[in-house]
Amino acid sequence: MNFARQQEQAERTARRLIWLHAFASTAVVIGVDAIATLVWHLLFGAAVDPPHGFHLVNVGGVLALIVGGAVLETARLREDGALIARRLGAVPVDTIGDPLHRRLQNLLEELAIAARIGVPRAFVLEDEPMINALTAGMDRNRSVVVVTRGALVRLTRDELQGVLAHEVSHIVNGDVRLNTRLVGMNHGLQWVGLFGRSMLSRAVKGAASMRVLEMAMAVPLAVMGVIVSVVGAIGELGALAIQAGVGRQREYFADAQAVAFTRQRDGLGGALRKVAGLPAVLAREATAAGSAPHDPRAAAARRHPYWQNVAHLLLVGRVASGRWFETHPPLRDRVHRLYGRDMAPIEPAVLKDAERREPELPALSLAVSAGAAFDDDEAPMPEPMAGRMPGLASARFAGSRDRTAPIALARLRAADGPAPAALWADTMPAFGEGAPAPGEVVAVTQVDGAARSCAASESAIAAAADRLVQATREPAGAAALVAALIGTPGQPAPRWGEGWECAAQRHGALRAAVAAVPGETLRALRWPLMELAVARLQPMSRPARESLLATVRGIVDQDARLTLPEWIYVALLRLRLRLEPRPTGLRRAAPGDLLDARGIRVLFALVAHCAHVSEAKADRAANAAIRTLDLAPIGGSAGPLTIESLEQAMRGATHLPPLARPLLVRQLVSLLPADAGHEARDFLRLLCVAIDCPPPRLPPHGFGWGATGTARGVSSDDQDDEVLASADV
């Protein structure tokens, strides 16, 4: 391969591109001016000349927009190639937490060696189910590669290597520089249309404002807005056509070079065939999950308009929108050139690696062999069953990882029809001793069975908990887990917002895994799991975080009541996802926001209430705290505990001077008895997060994986989540 010649050719294309752009820009400038003059003559008659400087303003304004937009964007891109990635909502790779990210990073490092360039920075579009990738950057040694989640989970290592080799060849050939410059220039042309639209919306607002001056301005503003946006739209189309013309030939070359780098064609070839086969698979998966089928066109329409600017950077272009605007040669042709003949698309399943971290259920099964009607693959366990039968739960969740419990359930041959659940649990342990004859149900003594099922359930709980922890490894799982932890078992599936399709698909299975963990254990795990999940969600784009919070709020609102744990976790989510400004303590607070004696009493009353401590004791502790913090001891009682008073008190606590915060927290902790429940603990932890104070050591809790905890948890599952507020919240 002659890289130098290719780079030269890229430069030539770049020069042609600049001419084309100059042409398009001139056309837009002249177009705006011509139409404006035409409109002027239509309004005021052919004889009246436009005022002096009319043309100058038109031409100057539009030129300033085009050039200004292009220069500004190019300068920004030059400074930071990762800007494009971040604009699209991609997050930097996390090489420690997620093995798939690690693999991506490794692959890029390998290819950088092969191509003798600096390692590109890797980003992942976590909420994109399609298979795609793009690269950007002004400098060969500081480029950026963005890969979608779909590509990570559905392509094998070799295929992903092929895809990345294609991107790396773009970098080596100098296409990326060219394409990134094109992004900047197109941004300028786009600005004209955007400006026109903003003029229109201002005109509409002005007309609605009922103020004389603005209403008078509305008409010319609207006329100008229409002209500019129409011509701007034409300019945008021109930009798209240029974008398309530049890239198409280079794609074949990059494909060929990817093969030269990796010395195999099946990598990239397989990836392209999987891209072709993916829509059918996504549609099938969506039907199986009961959600609306994934429509690439609708998804493209909902995306950020910036996507349009980067279409030519992608591995596979936008869905066909007319030959003139296609940035990439058709997939079939590319596959044909790679293999020398037509190849059928491959339907990409999610990889085994990726699947292992899904909350999958063991391929057992009891259910199948017993003829019961639940479905094996996707398969949440039927909820009522999970609550009542820890033994059964273990059977379904003790997966292949579990080395201690002999799960030989697959060999169980029950008589026709579903056997009673109790019978299943009791017969289960017997299979450690020998295979039963087909059709036989082995009876064992009750005591032995119960003891064994307890042991089995313990490891099953551990396995289920492990699965929950695994889910926090990547954003979709983390989001689904958050929803599963906050929701209650019987609820209908929540409405997931924009960009959380993957999370929606995993939610059901994770909810089943949550249900498999008995109440007491779950209550102990909830806070750490939430923190793990939230840490994974923090780097997501702001709209994604907002839509997640909206989803969670929807879950909480479903039963029209707000329990204390729900409030605690939603508050944690709000704080950790950085969706509201955090008071820094340096800003002056409004006098009403400061923490007063009443706020202190509210906090103490709440802790006392959750920890089942007497009011008198809480009052004494509160008074001590008020004295320590040097507050004016006004008012008697805390009054009724409401969400408003609680939030007021929390807000007040954030304005405490930094050194007073640990004092308050220590006083609150001293109120906790040794057997305080998890609500009180979680509330204290939340308070520490909210006021930015290191959490204290909480008194140890008599909690273990033991059978007693299990039994207690099962019996009192969801009953002591006290209702804080009802429908009016």
Partner 1 sequence: MRLFAPRESEMSAGLLSLLLLVAVPLVWVALAYNRLVGLRNALRNGFAQIDVQLKRRHDLVPGLVDVARAYLTHERQTLESVVAARQGAASARASAAARWSDAQAIEKLDAAESVLSGAVGRLFAVVEAHPELKADATLERLTEELVSTENRIGFARQAYNDSVTDYNNGVERFPENLVASAFAFKPATLLHSTRSVAEREPVAVTL
Q: Which residues bind partner 1 (CB under 8 A)?
A: 99, 102-103, 106-107, 109-111, 113-114, 116, 157, 161, 261, 400-401, 403
Query: Minimum Å distance from CB 456 to partner 1?
Result: 18
Query: Minimum Å distance from CB 116 to partner 1?
Result: 6
For residues 99 and 277, which CB has a smaller minimum distance to partner 1 in the complex? 99
Helices (H) and strands (E) in the chain, counts: 29, 6
- What are 92's strand-pairing partners? 123
For residues 78 and 102, which CB has a smaller minimum distance to partner 1 in the complex? 102
Amino acid making up residue 252: Y
Q: 12, exposed or middle or buried, with CB in 10 Å at 0-12, 13-18, 19+?
A: exposed
Q: Is the distance from CB of 472 to CB of 482 less than 8 angstroms?
A: no
Q: 447, exposed or middle or buried, with CB in 10 Å at 0-12, 13-18, 19+?
A: exposed
Q: Where are the alpha helices (DSSP H) in 143-211?
A: 149-154, 157-173, 175-208
Q: What is the layout of strands, in order, in the sheet containing 133-136?
A: 91-92, 121-125, 144-148, 133-136
Tokens 């609102």: give the residue.
557
For residues 22 and 113, which CB has a smaller minimum distance to partner 1 in the complex? 113
Query: Minimum Å distance from CB 482 to partner 1?
Result: 23
For residues 157 and 578, which CB has a smaller minimum distance to partner 1 in the complex? 157
Query: Minimum Å distance from CB 304 to partner 1?
Result: 33
* Of 554, 434, 533, residue with least CA distance to 475: 533
CA–CA distance, 529 with 545 (Å, rounded to integer): 18
Query: Minimum Å distance from CB 172 to partner 1?
Result: 12
For residues 97 and 695, which CB has a smaller minimum distance to partner 1 in the complex? 97
Amino acid making up residue 133: A
For residues 158 and 347, which CB has a smaller minimum distance to partner 1 in the complex? 158
CA–CA distance, 529 with 466 (Å, rounded to integer): 10
Query: Minimum Å distance from CB 1 to partner 1?
Result: 10
Query: Minimum Å distance from CB 161 to partner 1?
Result: 8
Query: Minimum Å distance from CB 381 to partner 1?
Result: 22
End-to-end CA distance of the chain: 67
Amino acid making up residue 45: G
For residues 468 and 650, which CB has a smaller minimum distance to partner 1 in the complex? 468
Question: What is the Rg, in whole angstroms, of the alpha carbon atoms belonging to the chain?
Answer: 31
Q: Is the distance from CB of 104 to CB of 97 less than 8 angstroms?
A: no
Q: Where are the alpha helices (DSSP H) in 116-156?
A: 149-154
For residues 154 and 357, which CB has a smaller minimum distance to partner 1 in the complex? 357
For residues 119 and 300, which CB has a smaller minimum distance to partner 1 in the complex? 119
Query: Minimum Å distance from CB 157 to partner 1?
Result: 7
Q: What is the DSSP letter of 581?
A: P
For residues 98 and 128, which CB has a smaller minimum distance to partner 1 in the complex? 98
Query: Minimum Å distance from CB 660 to partner 1?
Result: 44
Query: Minimum Å distance from CB 549 to partner 1?
Result: 32
288 CB contacts (<8 Å, ≥6 apart)?
Answer: 378
Residue 172, number of CB atoms within 10 A of its CB? 23
Q: What does 467-480 look like in DSSP terms, one character per residue?
A: HHHHHTTSHHHHHH
* Of 352, 462, 485, residue with least CA distance to 710: 462
Q: Is the distance from CB of 203 to CB of 170 less than 8 angstroms?
A: no
For residues 105 and 321, which CB has a smaller minimum distance to partner 1 in the complex? 105
For residues 261 and 496, which CB has a smaller minimum distance to partner 1 in the complex? 261
282 CB contacts (<8 Å, ≥6 apart)?
Answer: 129, 130, 293, 294
CA–CA distance, 638 with 602 (Å, rounded to integer): 5
For residues 98 and 426, which CB has a smaller minimum distance to partner 1 in the complex? 98
Query: Minimum Å distance from CB 111 to partner 1?
Result: 7
Query: Minimum Å distance from CB 167 to partner 1?
Result: 15
Q: What is the DSSP letter of 411?
A: G
CA–CA distance, 661 with 667 (Å, rounded to integer): 10
